[in-house]
Structure 1
Amino acid sequence: MALSIKPYIENKERIHLIGIGGVSMNSLGELLLSRGVPVSGSDRLRTDVTARLEALGAKITYEHKPENVEGASLIVRTAAVHDDNPEIVRAHELGIPVMERAEAWGHLMRDYDNVVCLAGTHGKTTSTSMMTLMTMEAQMDPTVMVGSNLPAIGGTLRIGGKGCFVAESCEYCNSFLRFAPTVAVILNVEEDHLDFFKDINDIIHSFHEFAELTPMNGLVVVNGDDPHAMRSVAGINRKVRTFGTSATLDVYPTDVRDENGYYRFTVMVEGKKYAKVALSVPGRHNMLNALACCAAAEFLGVPGDAAER
């Protein structure tokens, strides 16, 4: 049977996180602690993030030692932690199951009605932040996992209800292929992480697989201005909604004004006016990020006025 984190959470068994100070690892630790799960972990350095987790009840060791895993029921590791790590070696000796961070998040996402996974070579954190603010404004009480500190949620994690999960989703090491999106957003696809991917075709293939994770009643949102992004959704049997600057796309801007680098525009979604947007972050790329978020938000039933604020 496939390994899942859920029984360990239900039974309140101790889960040990190797690399607990990492961005989405510390969010995972916080979520587990909020559910009453005993959490231990290890990392190289004490930081504000690990201090916060310790204050919440995590037991953290600042050295990777075999004995750290003893007594744990499950080990979660980051992709950066390899099989020769002394804690992984000891876990295997003791027969303690080991899973990767992205896999753990994927299991947790399946508890939510709507899961918006925002992916792309760049713009992920900004777009995840925009999507978070829209869903909060719409009173959707989202659970959020984002890659850097977001002042609106006071960190990298917001623990909300089970109706909506908003997640920054990284393609590196194919991490996002462990996720469970109901709405997959592809902001752009460019050559990146060539220490892992072979070439641009390999990257496009990975994003294609990501899009296919969506259920048949879900949605794939894709940048219609980006040829590589469009190739990644070619031939998929899902509802696809394109966004970009051309009026031939499903979601596009009209009445565009550039005010010293800050864009104001009206968002059209499938021929209807959806929202009037005035961005507080500069750059044309952020207009595209906002269009992507509006494409997803409208599908989820977020009213246009919630997207405007």
Structure 2
Amino acid sequence: MSPSVPPTMERPHFIGIGGAGMSGVAKLLAQRGALVAGSDSRESETAAALRALGVTVHIGHDAAQLAQDATAVVVSSAIRPENPELAAARERGVPVLHRSEALAALMEGTRPIAVAGTHGKTTTTSMLAVALSALGMEPSYVIGGDLDAPGSNARHGGGEVFVAEADESDRSFHRYAPEVAIVLNVELDHHANYASMEEIYDSFETFVGKVRPGGTLVVSADQPGAVELTSRVRDIGGLRIVTVGEAQGADLRVMKITPRGLTSEVTVLLDGRMLTFTVSVPGRHYALNAVAALAAGIAVGAPARNLASALAKYTGVQRRLQLKGEAAGVQVIDSYAHHPTEMAADLEAIRAAAEGGRVLVVFQPHLFSRTRELGAEMGGALALADASVVLDIYPAREDPVPGVTSALIIDAARAAGADVTAESDRDAVPGVVAGMAKQGDLVLTMGAGDVTDLGPRILARLGS
């Protein structure tokens, strides 16, 4: 067994192994030589990619699938206590680890960069992974989304640096001790776990307090929540703070962002000199993510100019303004945006790239708790589109909440003057969109649930 695999991780069993975060840790362990097994509720391309690495993937959940020699069971916060494999592990005394505990164990002996924030984590982590790899630094990484193909969300590299997302949703990012921490933004979300902004700030303060002595915090100089966090952590001893953004006084200041179709050109002021580089995805928010990645890469020793050029190698991650195809002169693009800030940012980016065409959105709200708290703001964001189709709420791990439906979003959007169609039947959506779209339009499938599956179906209907 490779020394890079902790003893408890030699024969792990992952419940929900097909999930974006879980599959990354499982893949990394398999690449390090562990005998990995797990289960998921359905077949997927991710399951196939894991099997190609020698991972045993069961479909469905059954206590009999937990091997007798399993050294640990790994779960995420989405796994319910009554899951039969989890119950079997507890009965047999098999150690149960949260995904973040397994990931923290894999970071030992490395130089971790942990990417945190309410939005932009996956993109920024991906940008760093791609750019540092292009420079030959051979980082290990675990990303909450696939770079270009199912299974590409993790890699065991031979270098010292380990790049990972740090998820604040359930406070699991408190388990990491990074050399470099990135905080892109701080906003109220994950309402099932946080009751107020004060709780959010406390959680992020705890995360920043875990940075190794002499380490670096890269933090936005623009976003109000990040600015407030910076004021709260300035007195942490041994912490180097690097602020990034468009604000005057930022340590790494963005001087100009120039949209160029589906790319952007970014100019920053670094050590008194101007540095211009290309970001191969559209939108101001993605340009700012790239600048945060630049600062973090510099903090672990990457040459600034070489790193800036390498950032152009990043061409996107699945579900982050990912072009799914074109039919009948209509482009279909997939967006993971599910929080109002993300929705508005992606819509503004696509509007800038639309070149006169209309922007049509198919939006699927994610979680009852989020819709209850932010439904009005989601409706306001949809007013940035020319027309929208709104689906029923995707429940994910939550049970329905009385009185909380997509109508909260639809009513707010219509009050803001938006053209919105309510559609409860997912199978009807391709026909609805085909009836709306005209040559030159852009269609966005938007949300964190299974709305992504509609992109190919919309293209097929447009092309029929």
The TM-score normalised by the length of structure 1 is 0.90
In structure 1, the residue matched to 2:102 is 104
SS state at 2:218 partner: strand
Q: What is the CA–CA distance in structure 2 between the aligned matches of 1:44 and 1:252, rounded to whole Å? A: 46
Alignment of 1:6-21 (within 5 A): 6-9=6-9, 12=10, 14-21=11-18
Q: Which has the higher contact order (CA 8 A, sep 6+)?
A: 1
Letter aligned with residue 244 of structure 1: G
**What secondary structure, in the 3-state scheme, does the structure 2 residue paired with 1:150 have?**
coil
Paired residues for 1:86-125 under 5 Å: 86-112=84-110, 114-125=111-122
Alignment gaps of 5+ in structure 1: none
Question: Following the alignment from structure 2 to structure 1, what is the Cα–Cα distance between the partners of residues 145 and 158?
Answer: 21
For residue 298 of structure 1, what is the aligned residue in structure 2? 298
> Counterpart of 1:141?
138
1:63 partnered with 2:54:
no
Is the alpha carbon distance of 1:95 and 1:121 closer, same or farther for their aligned partners in structure 2, counting shifts above 3 Å?
A: same
| Superposed displacement of residue 20, structure 1 | 0.8
Aligned to 2:76: 78
- C-alpha change, 1:153 and 1:249, in structure 2 (3 Å) is farther
Instruction: For residue 93 of structure 1, report the CA deviation from its aligned partner.
Output: 1.1
Residue 51 of structure 1 corresponds to 48
Q: Does 1:188 align with 2:189?
A: no
SS in 1 for 2:42: coil
Which secondary structure state, in structure 1, belongs to the residue aligned with residue 37 of structure 2?
A: strand
Segments ≥4 residues shifted beyond 6 Å: none
**Counterpart residue type for residue 90 of structure 1:** A
CA apart distance, 1:163: 0.8
What is the Cα deviation at residue 189 of structure 1? Answer: 0.9
The answer to whether the Cα contact below 8 Å between 1:146 and 1:167 also exists between their aligned partners in 2 is: yes
Once the two structures are superposed, what CA deviation does each residue of 1:159-218 show, in whole Å capped at 9, x if it has no partner?
212411111222111121222311000001112111211112211211111111111111
Q: Does the Cα contact within 8 Å between 1:91 and 1:98 map onto a contact in 2?
A: yes
Distance in 2 (alpha carbons) for counterparts of 1:120 and 1:180: 16
Identity %: 36
The alpha-carbon distance between structure 1 residues 145 and 201, as it changes in their structure 2 partners (threshold 3 A), is same
Distance 1:165 1:111 in 2: 10
Q: Closer, same or farther in 2 for the Cα pair 1:153/1:18, shift >3 Å?
A: closer
User: Quick check: 2:294–2:307 contact (8 Å CA) kept in 1?
Assistant: no
C-alpha contact (below 8 Å) 1:142/1:166 kept by paired residues: yes
Q: Tell me, what secondary structure is at the counterpart of 1:268?
A: strand
Aligned to 2:425: none
Alignment deviations for residues 228-256 of structure 1 (CA, whole Å, 9 cap, x no partner): 11222313331111111023111112355
Per-residue deviation, 1:154? 6.7
Per-residue CA shift, 1:233-287, capped at 9, x if unaligned? 3133311111110231111123553445743233223x33373212221111122
1:298 and 1:196 mapped to 2: Cα distance? 34
Residues 1:289 and 2:289 aligned together: yes
Name the SS of the counterpart of 1:148 in structure 2.
coil
Task: Tell me which structure has the larger Cα radius of gyration.
Answer: 2
- Bigger CA drift: 140-149 or 62-71? 62-71
In 1, are the aligned partners of 2:29 and 2:36 still within 8 Å (CA)? yes
SS in 1 for 2:186: coil
Structure 1 residue 58: deviation in Å?
2.0
Distance 2:63 2:216 in 1: 44
Q: Secondary structure at the match of 2:113?
A: strand
- Partner of residue 197, structure 2: 200
Residue 57 to residue 278, structure 1, CA distance change in 2 (3 Å) = closer
Q: TM-score, normalised by structure 2?
A: 0.61
Q: Size of the alignment, in residue pairs?
A: 300
Report the residue type matching 2:43 in the other structure: R
CA offset at residue 149 of structure 1? 1.2
Which residue identity does 1:80 align to in structure 2? A
Question: 1:136 touches 1:142 (CA, 8 Å); kept in 2?
Answer: yes
**In structure 2, what is the Cα distance between the partners aligned to 1:22 and 1:137?**
27
Is 2:278–2:309's contact at 8 Å kept on the other side of the alignment?
Answer: yes
Deviations 1:99-140 (A, max 9, x none): 10111001111221x211111111112111221222122211
> Which amino acid in structure 2 is aligned with residue 241 of structure 1?
V
Cα distance between partner residues in 1 of 2:141 and 2:130:
10
Tell me, what secondary structure is at the counterpart of 1:167? strand
Aligned partner of 2:30 in structure 1 is 33
Distance 1:164 1:228 in 2: 28
**CA separation of 1:59/1:120 partners in 2, compared to 1, >3 Å: closer, same or farther?**
same
Which digits, 9 at most, give the CA deviation of each residue in 1:7-31, with x for residues without a partner?
Answer: 234xx4x211111111121122222
Cα distance in 1 for residues equivalent to 2:164 and 2:224: 24
**Separation in 2, partners of 1:66, 1:48:** 24
